């Protein structure tokens, strides 16, 4: 195979694999964020969402009466799974959001349910994991292409 063909193949393989890696890392970290959301009625926990190339413009769903932790988590994770399924490498960005009115206060302000800043913590972890996973992928594909 000519060198240029090898490089093109490498680039194609990278895009396919990178998409899987990104989705896996984001999903896993979103699960942590949803799990770590303080729960009272379940309203905040049920309203996590993910979209590609948007600024997160969506009204929160309304929870009329308290719901179980598992139910709230499933509502968020279903939306996140759907959002991730629409993501392709090359899309400008993934936006993770929660539009419940008091979400920002719970994350940034004084709340007694848990230490604030848990989304920021997980965002740092996610960024580190993404860089590490993509580095690993580049090394794996490069090593594989050299063997061919």
The CB-of-30 to another protein minimum distance in angstroms stands at 17
- Does residue 144 touch another protein according to CB under 8 A? no
- Quickly tell me which residue has 């905040």 as its tokens: 44
Q: Which of residues 18-77 bind another protein (CB under 8 A)?
A: none
Give the residue among 48, 70, 64 at the shortest CA–CA distance from 119.
48
The CB-of-43 to another protein minimum distance in angstroms stands at 16
Q: Interacting stretch for another protein, rule CB under 8 A, among 8-16, 39-47, 70-78, 117-125? A: 117-125
Nearest-angstrom CA–CA distance, 58 and 42: 18
What does DSSP assign to residue 148? Answer: -
Q: Which residues contact 129 (CB under 8 A, 6 or more apart)?
A: 25, 28, 29
How many of the chain's residues bind another protein (CB under 8 A)? 14
In a 10 Å sphere around its CB, with 0-12 CB exposed, 13-18 middle and 19+ buried, how is residue 75 labelled? buried
The CB-of-107 to another protein minimum distance in angstroms stands at 8
Q: Interacting stretch for another protein, rule CB under 8 A, among 19-27, 45-53, 91-99, 107-115? A: 107-115
Q: Interacting stretch for another protein, rule CB under 8 A, among 69-77, 79-87, 89-97, 104-112? A: 104-112
What's the number of CA atoms in the CB half-sphere (13 Å) around residue 116? Answer: 11
The CB-of-110 to another protein minimum distance in angstroms stands at 5
Q: Interacting stretch for another protein, rule CB under 8 A, among 21-29, 78-86, 100-108, 133-141? A: 100-108
Q: Which residues contact 92 (CB under 8 A, 6 or more apart)?
A: 52, 53
Residues in touch with another protein (CB under 8 A): 102, 104-105, 108-110, 115-117, 120-121, 124-125, 128
């Amino acid at each position: 195979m000519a060198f240029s063909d090898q490089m093109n193949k490498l680039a194609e393989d990278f895009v396919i694999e990178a998409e899987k890696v990104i989705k896996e890392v984001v999903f896993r970290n979103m699960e942590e964020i949803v799990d770590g959301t303080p729960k009272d009625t379940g309203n905040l926990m049920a309203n996590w969402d993910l979209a590609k190339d948007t600024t997160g413009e969506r009204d929160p769903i309304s929870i009329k009466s308290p719901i179980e932790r598992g139910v709230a988590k499933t509502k968020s994770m279903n939306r996140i799974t759907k959002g991730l399924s629409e993501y392709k490498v090359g899309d400008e960005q993934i936006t993770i959001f929660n539009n419940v009115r008091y979400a920002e206060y719970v994350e940034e302000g004084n709340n007694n349910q848990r230490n604030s800043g848990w989304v920021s913590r997980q965002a740092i972890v996610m960024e580190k994991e993404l860089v590490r996973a993509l580095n690993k992928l580049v090394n794996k594909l490069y090593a594989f292409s050299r063997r061919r």
